[in-house]
Structure 1
Amino acid sequence: MRVSVYIATSLDGFIARKNGDLDWLPGSDGTSEQSEEDFGYHEFMDSVDVLIMGHHTFETVLAFGIEWPYSEKRVIVLSSQLLQIPSDLPATVEASSCSPADLIQQLSDEGYQRAYIDGGKTIQSFLKAGLIQDMIITRIPILIGSGISLFGPIDNDRKLRHINTRTFENGFVQSQYELENETGTFPFFNLK
């Protein structure tokens, strides 16, 4: 099973302000910025069959006050606390307290092919467990000075291989990386 990240950061590496606010991120209010560009998001979402997010990210999405953006795609919300899923959400949204490794094994056994991991602590826990294979990171040209870092402390170095970088007219810079696996190889992208 392939485990992927698609996320935006400020140029100084934060995914949100310390209080979780995304007000610095264009379109953070659930509306799209004036550009028709989606920065590859829909293509990425079409390639995943399950989304795993933390409960803080889940609450942020709910606070947008828009229609549930993931349609009928299976969404698993990780939480160590009892989490109530609102009844107006699709039945494909569920809560879990599984460890990252157990959850990925379960999903793989169920036949899922690609998981999208979202949310700072959730991404960090999947990285720590060595489960993330590739990341698409879009850097927004803004410095916010402090906030929630995409990458927290890690136990050991993780090698990444740059796959590609795209730039957009609005100044966004999007890079895709593959993470080295436990055997020291990069299995997903055959670069010549």
Structure 2
Amino acid sequence: MRICAYIATSLDDFIARMDGSLDWLPKPVEGGEDYGYGRFFASIDAIVMGRNTFDTVLSFGEWSYADKPMWVLSRRELELPAFVPQIVTRWSGSLTALVEELTLHRVKKVYVDGGKTIQSFLRAGLLDEITITTIPVLIGQGISLFGSLEADVKLKLIESRAFEDGLVQSCYAVVKG
């Protein structure tokens, strides 16, 4: 199983404003560049998302995760609106137990989303790959993608790509051991 993150940050390493707002992200353009997201999304079998990110997704009022099963990390109960398919499961156990659960479901590639969730998988040594799209904007303060780490995490660059609109995307393998 490969556990991968795919996320955007401001140039100063924030994934959202302090209030969770994403208003600094460029608006998608119909038929425009998707920065490889479509290809990435097609390659995954399941999604693991943090509760705050899930609540943000619900605020959009539509479901954009197709029929991919999703596990939401939360100690609180989930109330799913009608537009959310019944393939969303709340998970309050350990990440190691979740990986075992995903293995039982024959999941081969997992998309991990949400700052705290990515940090948790990284700290647990469970994240295999991270793709970061850097948006050329400084927002000054916000929620950091990585926060503080107890130890260095070595990364190996797999690929880096610059887009015409100034976005830069880098994909890294997490070096283990």
Q: TM-score, normalised by structure 1?
A: 0.88
Which residue number in structure 1 is paired with residue 59 of structure 2? 63
Structure 2 stretches of 5 or more lacking a match? none
The ranges of structure 1 where at least 4 consecutive aligned residues each deviate by more than 3 angstroms after the TM superposition are: none
Question: Does the CA-based 8 Å contact 2:48-2:70 persist in structure 1?
Answer: yes
CA shift digits 1:37-77 (9 cap, x unpaired): 10000100011100010111011111112x20001110111
- Number of residue equivalences: 177
Distance 2:16 2:131 in 1: 17
1:93-132 aligned within 5 A: 93-132=88-127
Question: Does the CA-based 8 Å contact 1:85-1:94 persist in structure 2?
Answer: no
In structure 1, which of residues 169, 172, 175 is the aligned counterpart of residue 167 of structure 2? 172
Structure 1 stretch displaced more, 34-43 or 142-151 = 34-43
Q: CA deviation at 1:100?
A: 1.4
Residue 22 of structure 2 corresponds to residue 22 of structure 1? yes
Taking only aligned residues, the RMSD between alpha carbons, in angstroms, comes to 1.2
Residue 37 of structure 2 corresponds to residue 41 of structure 1? yes
Q: TM-score, normalised by structure 2?
A: 0.96
Structure 1 stretch displaced more, 79-88 or 7-16 = 79-88
SS at match of 1:36: coil
Identity percentage of aligned residues: 51
Which residue number in structure 1 is paired with residue 158 of structure 2? 163
CA shift digits 1:152-181 (9 cap, x unpaired): 111111110011101101100000000012
